[in-house]
């Protein structure tokens, strides 16, 4: 078992990573008891409970189920959680366990952060994407019809328990989507990890347990290092959004249905490499290297129909990283080195994307 700690100026988290942790009832009961709560509420969804209810040894709890899917990461779902907490007369001594993927973690985290001005939160992520990214670092949010993750707060979980065995029932498509977030860490800050991922891609896709554990541990270590230095995304943490500005535009265009978040990010990273090359930040050989790494995991190579450069830029103008009405893109200087680019005005970016998107159009 790995134990990692996150310490920021305002909060701290403990992260436990190892096979079989979610089935270890004594461990979970002990760790939850350390948090000092007198009542435990588990937020999950029917899909997770159907697959994992007999394989997760949760402490005594009350269950709140929310609908599955990114399209349900909204005010209605958030209010449903509030309704349940109030109906159950939950006080500030309540511990909320978020058992599920990124949607469960984000919405439950936001509810925990805001219910009675904050109750204790623990994340029990059950998808690869949540295990390596969304459960760590305290970002909580819901979507708005005009933009993804536009309403939320930073709120660190007191505890994160990551069990790779929870991935055994994960659909292949969701595993691949989660690997996009793993590849992200390699591209932005670890060139040697990029080589390791390329070498072991077939085994990771085949769910080799020891390799998945190593990939998760490396990703979590990178995430924690960045968050400790920049908890509120005022600088370095923005680099963790490689591919996300493009990916969020794809998701918004689709109404948060059809594509998984990681699938959109996977294509977004290809686009980021292309734009990086187009503005002479990235060598052609390294652009191709980034594409080959994406190809090794089978990330998407075509845009959804109806999304052109103009529409993409209009959606990207709502991105949270933007300052002074300029789009801030996370781009690559090299494999393992990323920077935020604010050099492109909307006209220039639209022109670049008109060329960049040609190979990605569905009818190309």
Instruction: Supply the residues annotated as catalytic.
Output: 117, 139, 181, 223, 233, 237, 241, 244, 248, 261
* 87 CA to centre of own chain: 31
For residue 43, give the H/E element and its range.
strand 39-44
Q: 197 CB contacts (<8 Å, ≥6 apart)?
A: 182, 183, 186, 204, 215, 293, 296
* 1 CA to centre of own chain: 23
Closest CA to 268 of 283, 253, 257, 281: 253
Per the structure block, which two tokens stand in for 282? 């990235």
Q: ∠ CA 157-111-93 to the nearest 5 degrees?
A: 65
Q: What is the rounded distance in angstroms from the CA atom of residue 164 to the CA atom of residue 216? A: 8
Give the pairing of strands 2-7 and 329-334.
unpaired
Listed in sequence order, the DSSP H helices in the chain are 25-34, 46-52, 75-87, 102-114, 128-129, 172-189, 191-205, 209-229, 244-253, 261-278, 284-296, 309-316, 346-356
CB 134 within 8 A of CB 102: yes
- Give me the residue label for tokens 């977004």: 268
Q: What is the rounded distance in angstroms from the CA atom of residue 282 to the CA atom of residue 337? A: 10
How many other CB atoms are found less than 10 A from the CB of residue 340? 16
Q: 33 CB contacts (<8 Å, ≥6 apart)?
A: none
For residue 99, give the H/E element and its range.
strand 94-100
Q: In 103-122, which positions are buried (b, 16+ CB within 10 angstroms) versus exposed (e)?
A: bbbbbbbbbbbbbeeebbbb
């Amino acid at each position: 078992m790995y134990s990692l700690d996150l310490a920021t100026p305002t909060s701290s988290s403990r992260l436990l990573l190892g096979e079989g942790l979610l089935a270890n009832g004594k461990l979970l009961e002990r760790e939850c008891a350390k948090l000092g709560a007198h009542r435990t509420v588990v937020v999950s969804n029917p899909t997770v409970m159907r697959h994992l209810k007999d394989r997760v040894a949760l402490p005594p709890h009350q269950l709140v189920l929310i609908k599955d899917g990114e399209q349900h990461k909204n005010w209605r779902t958030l209010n449903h959680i509030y309704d349940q907490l109030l109906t159950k007369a939950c006080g500030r001594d309540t511990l909320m366990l978020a058992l599920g993927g990124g949607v469960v973690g984000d919405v439950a985290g936001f509810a925990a952060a805001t219910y009675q001005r904050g109750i204790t939160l623990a994340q029990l992520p059950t998808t690869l994407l949540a295990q390596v990214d969304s459960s760590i670092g305290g970002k909580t949010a819901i979507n708005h019809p005009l933009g993804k993750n536009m309403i939320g707060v930073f709120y660190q979980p007191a505890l994160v328990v990551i069990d790779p065995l929870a991935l055994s029932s994960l659909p292949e498509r969701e595993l691949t989507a989660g690997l996009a977030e793993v590849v992200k860490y390699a591209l932005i800050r670890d060139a040697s990890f990029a080589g390791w991922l390329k070498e072991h891609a077939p085994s990771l896709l085949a769910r080799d347990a020891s390799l998945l554990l190593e990939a998760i541990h490396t990703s979590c270590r990178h995430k924690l290092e960045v968050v400790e230095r920049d908890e509120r995304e005022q600088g370095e943490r923005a680099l963790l959004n490689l591919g996300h500005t493009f990916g969020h535009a794809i998701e918004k265009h689709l109404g948060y249905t059809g594509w998984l978040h990681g699938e959109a990010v996977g294509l977004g990273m290809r686009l980021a490499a292309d734009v990086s090359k187009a503005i002479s930040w990235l060598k052609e050989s390294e652009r191709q290297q980034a594409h080959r790494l994406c190809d090794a995991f089978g990330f998407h190579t075509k845009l959804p129909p109806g999304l052109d450069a103009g529409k993409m830029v209009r959606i990207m103008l709502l991105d949270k990283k933007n300052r002074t009405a300029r789009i801030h893109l996370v781009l690559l200087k090299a494999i393992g080195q990323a920077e935020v680019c604010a050099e492109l005005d909307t006209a220039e970016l639209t022109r670049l994307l008109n060329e960049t998107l040609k190979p990605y159009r569905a009818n190309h």
